[in-house]
Amino acid sequence: MRKGRQSPEIVALKSMWPALVFAGVWLQFEETRRHLPIDAAYGYVLLGAIALVMIYRASVAIRRPNAHILRYMPIFDAVLLALTIRFTGGIESELWLFYYFMLIAGAMDPRPRTIELIAPLVLISYIAATLPPLGAWDWQIIEIAGTRLLFLFLASLLTRQVGLARGRLSDEIGRLSEQLALSQERNRIAREIHDGVGHSLVNCILTLELCERLVSKDPNEACKIISQEKDDLRSALDEMRDYVRHLRPAEIENEALVPLIQRHIAHFADRTGLSARIKGAGSNIDLAPSSRLVLLRIIQEALTNSVKHSDATEVEVSLARTGDGGVHCIITDNGCGFEENDVLNDPASRQGFGLRTMKDRASGVGGDVQIESEPGKGTRVSVYVPG
């Protein structure tokens, strides 16, 4: 089952819909329409236009959570709110309270410099919405406008501090998540070495002890067993080299992203016999070393799950650059598939542990992993890592 990302835009829109419904009900009262400076029909037209814009923004936020247009929506909000206030009474309109909603939404937005944009935008928008003609200035207007601007300014300072604190907290959570992911990977590698290489070596020791007893009685059989053990030891050595490669990220810092992923996929395909191909790998796709490591580890985990748990024979890895300079990667296999909730909720499942590790890795750098799978229909892993 696919789980959508909860972008800041979606969170803000969830709060806007009840307000829009309330405004529609509010216009039904005769007393409300009597005090409204415009005809009620225009009010309904305005609410309908706002609803259409909200539907468009919600669809964009769901389909393309990092679209550039979403970054300019606060400007649209400020202009629309200024016009609405201007046509509903100017300084007499109480709709200026919606500016507080804009400030709170800005503090919730994790994108850099969002609150720095919204705070002055709110002040400029309110001044433009309520500025009367020069001949209409009096002390009452100055007092009302000055008081509201003061409160909006104080709210801007407060929400800016909240936004900065949220950013620092998000960075700290990211560091802790990365440390947790590293600890989990160490535990996984330790368990894999114990269960894989460790068992291979124990079996080899037992087999060699058997060969000691057979060598005098049946030398041919002993040689045959030793030949088989040599193949097993080579497999164990290859597996150990993979673990060493996982623990040595120096190459990740010095090599471009696409050739690095291509080389790892080719090596994995040669070792396992899996048919793996990569597409859409343009030369402009790249990430910072830390994010590069996260994406590579997620791809490696997805490939390992395809072979070990899904019995897949074909895997396709597609790469695409996102609007914010990040990378969107999709790993699709033709394996047996699984029920995601059952696997994730099973604490003893190695596959579930791997899926949780993938999600933790992505969230640690502000990214996201979505998994779609059904028994008998293969698996699709969608990974987003920001730039």
pTM of the model: 0.47
Least Cα distance to 77 among 46, 95, 99 occurs for 99
> Hey, is 252 helix, strand or coil?
helix
Q: Give yes or no for a contact between 312 and 381, defined as CB atoms under 8 angstroms apart.
A: no
355 within 8 A of 371, measured Cβ to Cβ: yes
Are 316 and 332 in contact by the 8 Å Cβ rule? The answer is yes
Q: What is the pLDDT of residues 120-129, one digit of tens each?
A: 888 888 888 8
pLDDT per residue as tens digits for the range 61-91: 776 666 667 777 788 888 888 888 887 777 8
For residue 230, what are the CA distances in angstroms to 43, 75, 201, 208, 224? 82, 69, 11, 11, 10
What whole-number distance in Å separates Cα of residue 180 and Cα of residue 174?
Answer: 10
Say what the pLDDT of residue 66 is: 62
- Per-residue pLDDT averaged across 197-210, rounded? 76
> For the chain, where do the domains classified as CATH 3.30.565.10 start and end?
256-387
Range name among 181-185, 369-373, 376-380 with the lowest pLDDT average: 181-185
Contact present, 387 and 326 (Cβ < 8 Å): yes
CATH hierarchy code of domain 256-387? 3.30.565.10
- Identity of residue 132: P
Report CA 224 to chain centroid distance, whole Å: 53
Phi, psi (deg, nearest 5) at residue 287: -145, 165
Mean predicted confidence (pLDDT) in 182-200: 69
**Helix H or strand E segment including 369:** strand 368-373
Residue 313's closest CA among 276, 268, 354?
Answer: 276
- Which residues have a Cβ under 8 Å from the Cβ of 77 and sit 6 or more positions away? 102
pLDDT average, residue stretch 260-276: 81
Residue 120: CB atoms within 10 A of its CB come to 12
Cα 102 from Cα 56, distance rounded (Å) = 18
pLDDT at 5 over 60: no
